[in-house]
Amino acid sequence: MKIQYFRDTDTLHIAFRAADIGETRDLDENTILDIDTQGQICGITIEHASDRADIPQFSFEQVAA
């Protein structure tokens, strides 16, 4: 998984895995889903991210099963 924040455009992109994008879908006017050729979500783009997510407080935790 790769998370990128582009400060100049206030855009957050989360790539869940590397895949060939087969389709891009607008979830709403500021959220875009990348769908692979198998129909699975492989990424999400969020515009106006600083208003919609707590960007400076990002943390990651892996929980064992």
- Rounded to an integer, the average pLDDT of 2-29 is 93
Contact assessment for residue 45 and residue 29, using Cβ atoms and an 8 Å cutoff = no
CA atoms of 14 and 25, how far apart (whole Å): 15
Q: Considering the entire predicted model, what is its pTM? A: 0.82
pLDDT digits (tens, 9 = 90+) for 25-54: 999 999 999 999 999 999 999 999 988 887
pLDDT score for 32: 97
Q: Are the beta carbons of 2 and 17 closer than 8 angstroms?
A: no
| pLDDT confidence of residue 11 | 92
Rounded alpha-carbon distances, angstroms, from residue 32 to 1, 7, 35, 44, 62: 17, 18, 10, 6, 25
